[in-house]
Amino acid sequence: MAGADKHKHLDEKYPTKRGFWDKVAKSCFLVLTHICCNMKCIGKENFPKNNPYVVASNHQSYVDGVLIIDYLPKGHFKWMCCLAGADLETNHGKLGRLIMRVGRGIAVDRYGNPVRGLIKAKKEVELGNICFVFPEGTRTATGKLGELKDGACYLAIKAGTPLVPVYIAGAYQVWSRHDKHPHPFKGFMKRKKVRIFVGEPLMPADYDNDAHKMTDELSRWMHEMEDKYWDPENAPI
């Protein structure tokens, strides 16, 4: 009950407008990321030219959403929001609060009932926003994919939008949940690879508007990417 009271105020607080300094922080972080990491996106042409849509990604690090933002079509960042655990705001200090503001986070109680967060996200998508969802529900503890929940596909179906699958490779090796700070170098000034793979959008009608069927296809694609590219240092791209 105490946890529910702690997170209750977040239902109305988010999503919020980004402030000037939030946008500056995002830009500075991305500049540093490109300097320190060998970054590349494959398939960014698969992002729809027009919003709204839903983005479903695996979750390897604190900053996965910001990494994806860098490759959205021009002008789409201002429409971006995301489903995020309410504890990111309350239990992860200034960095957690900054991530919530930059990502225009919609708070979800991942240890309770996530439905209210999904309803709020549906309304935002219907207003034209682009919603990022991490179907695993939390950052991976091992670097490998966890079980994908139906929330992302449910949201795309209910809002009547495409779902864009994204697989991130290498972010776990740079900044896993077990690290206090990022480790972008694998030797003296040799940058680690981070690769963002964007798949072709999944259309709800192709899966009979069935969230389970759509999630099964999303999971199949994610695991295919993981089998090929989990360690991007061994990939030819």
Beta bridge partners of 191: 185
**Token pair listed for 68:** 């994806």
Give residue 2's pLDDT.
Answer: 39
Q: pLDDT at position 3, please?
A: 43
Task: Retrieve residue 167's tokens.
Answer: 């697989």
What is the model's pLDDT at position 85?
82
The predicted model scores a pTM of 0.90
Q: What pLDDT score does 12 carry?
A: 53
pLDDT confidence of residue 17? 74
| pLDDT score at 13 | 57
**Per-residue model confidence (pLDDT) at position 14:** 57
pLDDT reported for residue 4 = 44
d(C-alpha 129, C-alpha 81), whole Å: 7
By the 10 Å C-beta count (0-12 exposed, 13-18 middle, 19+ buried), 91 is classed as exposed
- ∠ CA 103-118-155, rounded to 5°: 95
**Cis ω for the linkage preceding 15 (within 30 of 0):** yes
What pLDDT shows up at residue 211?
A: 98
Q: Which residues pair with 163 in a beta bridge?
A: 54, 202
DSSP per-residue letters across 11-65: HHH-S-PPPHHHHHHHHHHHHHHHHHSEEEEE-GGGS-SSS-EEEEE---STTHH
Superfamily of segment(s) 39-234: Glycerol-3-phosphate (1)-acyltransferase (3.40.1130.10)
For residues 50 and 72, what is the distance between their CA atoms, to the nearest angstrom?
11
Give the pLDDT score at 91: 81
Q: What are the residue ranges spanned by the domains of the chain?
A: 39-234
Q: Half-sphere exposure (CA, 13 Å, Cβ side) for 101?
A: 16
C-alpha to C-alpha distance for 164 and 202, rounded to whole angstroms: 6
Residues of the chain below pLDDT 50 = 1-11
